[in-house]
Every structure is written in C-alpha cells, then in structure tokens.
Amino acid sequence: MNIKDYLDSTYLKTNTQAGLSEKDNETVVQGFIKEAIDEKFKLIMIRPDRVALAKKMIVEAQSKVLIGTVIDFPGGNSALDKKLKEAFECIQNGADELDYVCNYEAFKNGEVDLVKEEILKGTRLGLVHNKIVKWIIEVAALNDLQIAQLSALIKNVVISNFKESDYNSVFVKSSTGFFVTKDNLPNGATVPSIKIMLENSFPLPVKAAGGVRTYDEAIEMIAIGVKRIGTSGAKAIANSEESSTQY
C-alpha cells in the first residue's frame, strides 16, 4: 500500500484566514501544488479561485495529480442554483473532483427534500462530466444519529438515481475543517464518527477530512475502510512525522 494514494493534500485558507496578502497567500498555494506534484499525492485540494492555477502548474509539470475543489464552502447553505453554478465553473477551469458542502443545517431543520434535491442535482452535474463528487456532512455539527441519517440519505439518493458503476465516484466526507466547536472539541474526522459514516453510507466510499495528523492515524482510518484522507500535512504524514497543522 502506498499511503500517498490516499492523501488529498489540502490548503483552503483565504488570504484573511491565513493572515497574508493575496500575493503571499498565492505563493503558499503554489507551494502546496508543487509539493503535491513532487510527492505524487493523489490530489491537491484548493479553493475554486485557485483551480485554474493548479491546472496550469500540473499540465506544465506533466503530472498526474488530480485537482479537487470545494463547493459552497464552508457553510453549505447557499441556494442550489448558486451551488451548481460554482461547481460548473470549477469543472470548466479543470477540476477533477467536487467536494460540495451539504446543507447540513437544512437537514437538521427537517428540510429533507431540499437536501435530497441538492444531492441529486449536484451529483448528477459531477457524474455527467466524469468527475468525482464528495458530500461534506460536517460531523462536528451533528450528533451521532444525525451523522447516521445524513450519510444514509446521501447513499439512498445515489442508489435510487444512479448506476451501480457510479457508486465509487460519490463519497461521503466528514468535515470542512472550518466548523467552530465549543470547548475545543474536534472539528474534523474522528474514528467514532467515521465508523458511523462507513456503516450508513455503504456502498459509497468515505473520506476522512481534518484531524488526521500522523501516519498511524492515517493507517487506522484506512484499516477501518476510509478511501481518502484530507489533510494539510500530507508530506509529514507520508514521511511518518506528525503534522503540526490544524487540518
């Protein structure tokens, strides 16, 4: 097993969040993209406005690194047409994978039909263009029952509307890494939350995002069934070091 095949190297901070100028933050982004190319990670995960840059760098390097981006990030509560417009623009700019933030607040409020519609139409848009689709459910914002229910809802929409051959192209993903928790509780993937996702999303694959900071933690996630790991410390994990990053 090559751990790098599981790692989505991730940098999603805005200029303000990073405390950097636009120019300096772009330099950081370029560094992450170059590192993903050099280290042969599975994918580089960046914000929509950086997709074209990543595509240019990857093509010039003749690399096979995939480009992933986040849609309706980090809140997930935009209108569906806005969500789909952003996703389509990212496809046009060269994105290979679309990580939508599911409208988990609508789900918590009982607006199940709204959530079903965005999962259906967002997934369809990705699959029609031969893209991988992931739905971020934000486990830190949900209780265990809600994690199970939302994972199952995504699974059921996919099974009811798409071919079996599409299932491996639609992931359920744990976290944005940007949710603010109380009492400094984890805001990313935990083993208990991932196990609930795995049990309720099967046969769809699961991505553990945020909170995986060591090689051993990554191996544990893979051992229980995770197919992808999102981290801003991919190089450290691949080198069996502990990541110092929060995501």
Catalytic residue positions? 99, 173, 207
Residues 6+ apart with CB under 8 A from 245: 213, 231, 232, 233
Q: How far apart are CA 49 and CA 77, in angstroms?
A: 19
Q: Are the CB atoms for 73 and 176 separated by under 8 Å?
A: yes
Q: Are the CB atoms for 120 and 113 separated by under 8 Å?
A: no
Q: How far apart are CA 208 and CA 197, in angstroms?
A: 10
Q: What is the DSSP string of 186-208?
A: --S--HHHHHHHHHHHTTS-EEE
